[in-house]
Chain A
């Protein structure tokens, strides 16, 4: 297996968004003594923000994320006490409550070099919406911008920080990929996950028709307007099944929960996986 080493490429978002001026590549500050720090210096450090949905419902995805990152030589941390990024509150208009949760995240990941988030949606919350949440609070805004510069969605971390298109994984089956809306349109991640999938040994990638149309989840939207949400996910399921692939892959478990819920109701046997699970060689966790 090839292990690719990080090339520290500057992510295009950093060039595009001027508030991302903090440098995530500053030397890591060792926490555990001089001897260990020497060892640590040579490896890319990343702290995992696992997201509440993976924490509570899909922990196996988090396990795969850790395993893949470690396999690629990343030193993974998991700051304790993390819960929710606040997006459900932000999206329903409760900005003060969302700020309360955002402050916890800013505090918990203050010392991180990179923050890896296995969700395009939560990553967008942290990278794009935190600075908006604190736009009237200069001190917190500074912190939010600093965090924003460190946040990478999982696939983005692999392609843009570690600089790899091939995670050296093997997977048996045909796969299709649903690009989640926030990953696509907030984080600007379009082709990276597909390149990673195309390079998985044994996996046959099949393009999803109308891939960039929303699956209909939308957080509270899915229960506020279930009839519309159902209609949207029905279209998504029809497109997904039309590929004939045996596995649906995405980078957001919330969208996958929605699509899988509909697939399951239809009695479909299609597998539904987070990208990290497909890149995780050892099938025991997937």
Chain B
């Protein structure tokens, strides 16, 4: 697995939020991707959109609830088509399967189309370590590979790179002259990769969907690299998570409508490719071997928890990233692992371990915009709450809750709020303390604006860093009610 830096979220987000280039890139994604998505919904009408969402959701729910059945069907049908399915319990096993294919087939050059699961496995690193020249061929992924970074966004991995940076990178790594035209940069990448496509022995792809009934791998792309990777080399290996399966080829209609619209605001992508096995002996071209690696790598943990199973319905469109006010501030790298944004804050903790990623479920205001945007209506806020609950229930070795409100504070809060007399006493004490501190010249508290400008106290200082804080009111509403509002005439 690639290095897990999910623990760095607080520090990394504090840096990335100040980066003007990241801010610009995120704004572009917000207006471009999310704006396009909204236009598409208006175009098909929100009513129809809701019908599609419901249909897709029901399909995914059904498949996940019977995942073993459909995986078995998938395996049988791929085999019947002349392909080979391999099952991988974890990243190491998935990499070992690929390494074995490389060794037994004498693979020297591999081209790869976009696959988030391969990022999970750190597959390129493994391939390089056994002497395979591996080329990412999606333009964004290619840039990221040259820059030795990880994807910034689920569908636009190099979103954060300016064309100047890409030009510098190409000059340094490809030896091409500097260029300031984006068309020219894309042409340089095409040029650099064209020969690789034709030389490669191995094409690697991910999968957007796996159709159980027909044993079909479906990929959705725009550039044509996916078509090349699945057509030109003599071996095609598809690598994907076990949750990608859907029952029938007829289910694809609704997913092909939802995914591109949700991802980039496109009505459909330039290409949809469906692979159901190696080429038939009479075909003009196509790989002689087709292997499908179905990866668990922590997914059965999500499957086993009914409160988190929904996260496996994700089709990786990125709509939740484009609308999330937190992702839109901090960008993808701050999340510290393969999957950023709201869905990443669920998937990453479940795949790398909750103790490693305890900061991520907290990185949300629970505003619910992600659920509204999700084409499968995945209830992300509920799952974030569920993870917070797990964190609160499973304190770390020192007995402290991980990342949430400290347990003694929660207990104290509950104790006070469960006892109106105690609340009243606490209120009196807090009022007195507030008055004393506000009246003192050497106090951590100082008035300003419409309330308290400075509060040199734990937690409160985090608030007053850029916001004024209201004071506790002289009388509580309860007191006012008793003194002025309670009306014995027919009312309680």
Residues on A lying within 8 angstroms of B by beta carbon are: 31-32, 36, 39-40, 43, 47, 50, 52, 54-60, 62-63, 66, 75-84, 86, 88-95, 97-98, 100-101, 104, 132, 181-182, 184-186, 212-214, 216-235, 257-258, 260-262, 264-265, 267
Contact = CB atoms under 8 A, between A and B. Distances in A.
A59 B480 contact: yes
Contacts of A66: 481, 485
Contact of B450 (A47, A97, A224, A264): A264
A227 B14 contact: yes
A91 B326 CA distance: 17
B105 interface: no
Contacts of B80: none
A276 B70 CA distance: 55
B463 interface: yes
A246 to B, nearest CB: 15
Interface string B434-459: 00000000000000111101000001
Nearest to B371: A185
A131 B210 CA distance: 37
Given A97-B413, A226-B465, 13 more contacts: A56-B476, A66-B485, A92-B404, A97-B414, A100-B418, A181-B365, A185-B372, A214-B369, A218-B365, A220-B362, A224-B362, A234-B466, A264-B467
Given A101-B417, A231-B329, A91 B366 contact: yes
A93 B10 contact: no
Contacts of A216: 325, 365
B463 A222 contact: yes
Given A83-B420, A226-B463, A261 B468 contact: yes
B392 A186 contact: no
Contacts of B471: 57
B367 A214 contact: yes
Given A31-B492, A101-B418, A232-B329, A267 B13 contact: no
B476 to A, nearest CB: 5
B323 to A, nearest CB: 9
Given A92-B392, A221-B364, A63 B477 contact: yes
A214 B342 CA distance: 14
A101 B414 contact: yes
A53 B192 CA distance: 62
Interface string B413-431: 1100110100100010000
Contacts of B490: 32, 36, 39-40, 43, 75
B413 A218 contact: no
Contacts, number: 214
Nearest to B451: A264
19 contacts: A36-B490, A40-B490, A47-B492, A56-B427, A82-B420, A83-B418, A84-B417, A93-B385, A97-B413, A182-B366, A185-B372, A214-B365, A216-B325, A218-B365, A221-B363, A223-B462, A225-B10, A229-B365, A262-B466
Contacts of B366: 91, 181-182, 218-219, 221
B293 interface: no
Interface string B476-491: 1111110011100011
A223 B459 contact: yes
A13 to B, nearest CB: 15
B476 A264 contact: no
Contact of A95 (B325, B387, B389, B491): B389
A182 B485 CA distance: 29
Interface string B172-193: 0000000000000000000000
Contact of A55 (B325, B369, B411, B477): B477
Nearest to B411: A97
A223 B414 contact: no
B448 to A, nearest CB: 8
B418 A93 contact: no
Contact of B417 (A52, A60, A213): A52
Nearest to B361: A93
Contacts of A104: 418
B330 interface: yes
Contact of B393 (A76, A93, A101): A93
B383 to A, nearest CB: 12
Contacts of A264: 448-451, 467-468
Contacts of A57: 470-473
B368 interface: yes
Contact of B368 (A36, A181, A257, A258): A181
B476 A59 contact: yes
B103 interface: no
B368 A182 contact: yes
Interface of B: 10, 13-14, 17, 325-326, 329-330, 362-369, 371-372, 382, 385, 387-393, 401, 404-405, 407, 410-411, 413-414, 417-418, 420, 423, 427, 448-451, 453, 459-460, 462-463, 465-473, 475-481, 484-486, 490-492
A235 B367 CA distance: 15
A212 to B, nearest CB: 7
Contacts of A92: 388, 392, 404-405, 410
A53 to B, nearest CB: 9
A63 B463 contact: no
Contacts of A222: 365, 462-463
B481 A78 contact: yes
Nearest to A262: B467
A234 B23 CA distance: 14
A243 B382 CA distance: 34
A220 B371 CA distance: 21
Contacts of A86: 414, 417
B492 A78 contact: yes
A187 B13 CA distance: 31
A39 to B, nearest CB: 5
Most chain A Cβ neighbours within 10 Å, of B371, B392, B414, B480: B414
A181 B367 contact: yes
Contacts of B363: 221, 225, 228
Please name the 4 residue pairs, one residue from A and one from B, whose CB atoms are nearest each other, closest first.
Answer: A218-B365, A261-B467, A93-B392, A93-B388
B410 A97 contact: yes
A104 B427 CA distance: 19
B410 A50 contact: no
A75 B491 contact: yes
Contacts of A234: 466
Contacts of B466: 226, 230, 233-234, 262, 265
Looking at B420, B448, B462, the one whose CB has the most chain A CB atoms below 10 A away is B462
A45 to B, nearest CB: 9
Contact of B463 (A55, A90, A223): A223
Contacts of B329: 228, 231-232
Contacts of A235: 325
Nearest to A132: B382
Contacts of B427: 56
B411 A228 contact: no
Nearest to B326: A228
Nearest to A83: B417
